[in-house]
């Protein structure tokens, strides 16, 4: 799969229909689909509870708050990236508050090409997060395999009076002979002797 084939589930939090109309074609050309719209922070929170998003785009201010607290909260989710559009007169102040939390910011008004570049940064960062997620999963899977194998080894030691080294060799040989993972053999041993 190439990078261009990736799609990013996107939540746009904006009370401006003009902003929504202008950003929609930019989002779709940047593979930000499906797009869900919310017109307030409260509505955005409800949407976030229903489904995870890759990107959250916030057009400040919002009717119920500026949106910076929500941007910080959503950025604490390790799988979601946030981009805030902030009025130029308060841009520096808000940016300095949200930037330490990983919130991307752009001043308003913003040219379409700048929005496209901002989305490219989000896409690049999301792909990096994805690769980190895969590494984390493989480490967790490996740790689970180690736990299962150790449990199975102790059962073999206890029930069949094997040495730890013999139990370990037994599990490895069974896995190789059956062309399955050590986890599968460990699960069978655990089911047999537990």
pLDDT attached to residue 179: 85
Q: Please classify residue 157 by burial: count the beta carbons closer than 10 Å to its beta carbon, then call 0-12 exposed, 13-18 middle and 19+ buried.
A: middle
**Mean pLDDT estimate for the chain:** 89
Stretch 169-184: mean pLDDT, rounded?
88
**Has residue 136 got a pLDDT over 70?**
no
**Bridge pairing between strands 81-87 and 55-59:** parallel
**Has residue 133 got a pLDDT over 80?**
no
Among 137, 140, 153, CA closest to 185: 153
Stretch 158-178: mean pLDDT, rounded?
90
Stretch 4-31: mean pLDDT, rounded?
91
**Has residue 134 got a pLDDT over 90?**
no
């Amino acid at each position: 799969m190439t990078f261009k084939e990736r799609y990013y589930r996107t939540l746009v939090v904006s009370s401006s229909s003009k902003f929504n109309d202008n950003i929609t074609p930019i989002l779709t050309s940047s593979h930000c689909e499906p797009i869900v719209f919310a017109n307030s922070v409260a509505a955005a929170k409800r949407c976030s509870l229903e489904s995870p998003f890759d990107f959250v785009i916030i057009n400040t201010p919002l009717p119920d708050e500026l949106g910076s607290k929500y941007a910080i909260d959503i950025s604490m989710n390790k799988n979601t990236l946030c981009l805030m559009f902030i009025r130029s007169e308060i841009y520096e102040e808000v940016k300095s508050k949200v930037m330490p939390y990983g919130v991307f910011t752009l001043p308003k008004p913003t040219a379409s090409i700048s929005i496209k570049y901002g989305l490219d940064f989000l896409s690049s960062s999301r792909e990096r997060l994805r690769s980190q997620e895969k590494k984390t999963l493989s480490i967790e899977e490996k740790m689970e395999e180690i736990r299962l194998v150790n449990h199975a080894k102790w059962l073999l030691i206890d029930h069949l009076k094997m040495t730890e080294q013999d139990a370990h060799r037994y599990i490895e040989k069974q896995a190789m002979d059956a062309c399955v993972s050590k986890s599968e053999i460990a699960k069978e041993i655990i089911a047999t002797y537990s």
